[in-house]
């Protein structure tokens, strides 16, 4: 089993969208992004070659994020790293060893309000 401790050196915040509702007067209240978890991760921006390839494929992916294995992070969430907001573009990609040591997510630039 590999030790990820030295590799996971970036502090990221995972946020999830809380849908609005109605206030006491029946008016619609807008939803907002709320902090879900703070995690240690390895965030790797794509190289220029990978970015050109991704753009050719019409992909919005600009970075990868590696975290310890967990099942509660999904594509309806977003990541804040170094003051930048990234959308999660892929489901978790499990590691090649046992499938439960770490997972990798593909990140896109910007955020979108969930539907």
**Over the stretch 61-100, which tens digit does the pLDDT of each residue have?**
889 999 999 999 999 999 999 999 999 998 998 887 787 8
Strands 93-94 and 102-109: antiparallel
pTM: 0.79
Task: Using DSSP, state whether 50 is helix, strand or coil.
Answer: helix
Q: Is the dihedral of CA 15, 90, 65, 71 positive or negative?
A: positive
Domains of the chain: 10-109 (2.40.10.270)
């Amino acid at each position: 089993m590999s030790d990820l401790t030295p590799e996971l050196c970036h502090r990221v915040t995972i946020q999830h969208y809380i849908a609005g509702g109605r206030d006491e007067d029946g008016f619609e209240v807008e939803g907002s992004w709320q902090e879900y978890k703070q995690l240690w991760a390895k965030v790797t921006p794509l190289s220029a070659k990978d970015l050109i390839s991704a753009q050719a494929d019409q992909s919005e992916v600009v970075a990868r994020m590696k975290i310890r294995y967990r099942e509660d992070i999904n594509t309806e969430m977003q990541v804040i790293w170094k003051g930048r907001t990234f959308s999660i573009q892929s489901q978790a990609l499990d590691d090649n060893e046992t499938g439960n040591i770490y997972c990798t997510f593909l990140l896109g630039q910007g955020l979108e309000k969930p539907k």
